[in-house]
Amino acid sequence: MRNLYIMFFASICTIISCTPINENIKEEKRDIQEVTSDSHTYSNYSEIRTTHLHLDLDVNFKNNTIYGIARHTMSKSDVEKAIFDVKGLEIQKVTLGSKNEIETDYLIGKTDEIKGAPLTVKIKPGTKQINIYYKTTKETEALDWLTPELTAGKKHPYLYTQGQAILTRSWIPIQDTPMNRITYSADVQVPSELIALMSANNPKEKNTEGKYHFEMKQAIPAYLIALAVGDMEYTSFGESCGVYSEPELVDQCMYEFVDLPKMIDVAEEIYGKYRWDQYDLVILPYSFPFGGMENPRLTFANPTLIAGDRSLISVVAHELAHSWSGNLVTNATWNDFWLNEGFTVYFENRIMEAMYGKEIADINAVIEFQDLITAIADIEAGDHPEDTQLKLQLEDRSPDDGMTDIAYVKGAFFLRTLESVVGREKFDAFLTNYFDNHAFETITTELFVQYLNAELLTPNDIVFDTDEWIYRQGLPDNCVKITSKRLEEMESWANQVNNGEAVFTGKYKDIKRSDRVTQEWQAFVRKLSPDLAPETLIEIDEKLLMSAEANPAIKSDWFILNVKAGNTSVRPEMEAYLIKIGRRWYIESIYQTLIDSKTPGDLDFAKATFEKAKSGYHFVSSSTIEGLF
């Protein structure tokens, strides 16, 4: 076979480099970018980079394989090799040229458990087009192939991808770094009874051939390329927004997401124009490992968001906010992940405030802050206490290690604290300009701090210790405090119960679960003591149907409390929950609590349940849970 030749450049190393995206960037900006490297890519994107990618994809559900050609249009360069990231892909051949393709040599380097392997392609100076013929394998971590039983309709199979952080390389050979932005197009063949959707312009209905063409004309990082294939229908909420879902979920979606158009208007009023033309949601099956994924033009959403009372709509606000923070202005490396998520949680809360009032926004923020305090304690007790810094050092580690409440909630509270110091008006003007001035660019933490000093702090004579927030562990003393009367009331009720008073007495005598929103129940459950007798928990469960009927956000907290309290009577419902739900956020802490539990049988129960459940989890969740054991 002709595809292996010994490279004279023996060391396949991480390239120390800059991101040459905007030729006009200021010198000082260039200095910082030049010392920035993305340790999670093998690609030589600073020497030669993909500018446009065209994908020819054939999605085959008979053997759960995508047969693909990745056609990379490359930047002008005189180098003799182009390096791409691959993981778990079978490369069949590589050609150069567009009209007359000529096969070229390539080499796949040693595979690293986290990063995969470098695919080095021999090219000629001036090569414009590189075509990589490949197929996915069982090792493909981005793809979740679902049998019909795991869908709402139970009639058709389903496929979706999850690219963030560095999984795109497991379904597309690509320079998989957020430091390079590309446009893409695709021709996708799927079975004729299914529809294909991408993070691009999307069809509104199925066609009889199962052939779909996509264009994404705005440049995006590789982790935002996404595909979903299934039996889906489109419900329009207006000219430029709507929801794709399985037909069985259309009515529920209509109710739950009706505020979507207003939410887009509100977001635009706060930080300027929505720049991606269309904003749709696609409701995926329950195995989806996240609440949502901000794939541009088409947020991938978890069906657990359909709470029935619109109380988990903040996740949609979050994914929409990513259209500015993350998708428009993108973290340069995964060490800067807080730039994506901290800004987004902050913006999400601003959208919630504008939509539903300060009380609801504060309720959300207080619950998030509780999660943050737990996360800080957990991280400080672990092997990497430095992970409580906003700026991370994830070299030689999985970028997933940085997906904690530090990036999300500590990041958001940093911005809230800044806002409280400078005032909202100035802060909003600053952020609007920040999004504008860095639109369709990547940014490092250092560049952000420089911009913050130059544009906000120095001109307003404000002294603010940004280093304390960004480069030091834990939570600074100047962190703003947010309180919520409604949550405090629920907590004092819980305290009464903890002190031995009857649960359903006085004004709580006839309380129903629908009388309070999700976050109020979370505050109540979180405050209940694990020392309570199982009978008390059973009494609460019988009245409020927590185990049987509550939404996943409440159930997750409820099951954790019951495990800590040694109440094993909830095991059947907990098992059903862990088998149905694949969202990592909800299931990880339940498994962790079961593993840490001193109650006889809990560890065995956790192991047995995971065995039954794991085939329904995406790799992101199953690998995390496996790690806990």
Record the tokens describing residue 538, joined without a space: 């059973």
Q: Give 336 or 341: the residue with its C-beta nearer to Zn ion.
A: 341
Q: Give 409 or 470: the residue with its C-beta nearer to Zn ion.
A: 409
Q: Give 341 or 520: the residue with its C-beta nearer to Zn ion.
A: 341
| Contacting residues toward Zn ion, per CB under 5 A | 341, 344
Closest listed residue to residue 499, CA positions, set 532, 466, 451: 532
Which DSSP helix (H) or strand (E) runs through 442? strand 441-443
Other CB atoms within a 10 A radius of the CB of residue 628 amount to 14
Query: Strand order of the sheet with strand 143-146?
Result: 143-146, 158-161, 227-230, 195-198
27 catalytic per annotation = no
DSSP letter at 66? E
Q: Give 411 or 552: the residue with its C-beta nearer to Zn ion.
A: 411
Q: Which residues, listed in sequence order, are joined to residue 215 by a DSSP beta bridge?
A: 185
Whether residue 186 is preceded by a cis peptide bond, meaning omega within 30 degrees of 0, is no
Torsion angle, CA of 526/530/532/533, rounded to 10 degrees? 130
Q: Give 442 or 609: the residue with its C-beta nearer to Zn ion.
A: 442
Residue corresponding to tokens 């399985």: 246
- In the structure, how many helices (H) and strands (E) does the chain have? 20, 21
Question: Taking the complex as a whole, how short is the minimal distance between the CB of residue 325 and Zn ion, in angstroms?
Answer: 9
CB 283 within 8 A of CB 306: yes
223 catalytic per annotation = no
Q: Give 344 or 589: the residue with its C-beta nearer to Zn ion.
A: 344
Instruction: State the Cα–Cα distance between residues 107 and 194, nearest whole angstrom.
Output: 36
Q: What is the phi/psi pair of residue 623, to 5°?
A: -70, -35
The CA radius of gyration of the chain, in Å to the nearest whole number, is 25
Instruction: State the Cα–Cα distance between residues 603 and 110, nearest whole angstrom.
Output: 37
CB 276 within 8 A of CB 327: yes
Record the tokens describing residue 229, joined without a space: 């294939």
Q: Give 341 or 441: the residue with its C-beta nearer to Zn ion.
A: 341
Question: Taking the complex as a whole, how short is the minimal distance between the CB of residue 115 and Zn ion, in angstroms?
Answer: 23
CA angle 472, 478, 480 (to 5 degrees): 115
Instruction: State the Cα–Cα distance between residues 111 and 249, nearest whole angstrom.
Output: 41
DSSP letter at 568? G
Catalytic option among 141, 246, 256, 319: 319
CB 490 within 8 A of CB 517: no
Q: Give 120 or 344: the residue with its C-beta nearer to Zn ion.
A: 344
> For 227-250, b where at least 16 C-beta lie within 10 A, e where not — what string?
bbbbbbbbbebeeebbbbbbeebb
Catalytic option among 45, 106, 160, 408: 408
CB 56 within 8 A of CB 350: no
Residue 602 gets the label, from left (phi > 0), alpha (psi -120 to 50) or beta, of alpha
CB 443 within 8 A of CB 377: no
Which sign, positive or negative, has the C-alpha torsion 378, 382, 387, 389?
A: positive
Record the tokens describing residue 424, joined without a space: 């909202």
Instruction: State the Cα–Cα distance between residues 356 and 360, nearest whole angstrom.
Output: 6
Q: Which residues are catalytic?
A: 319, 408
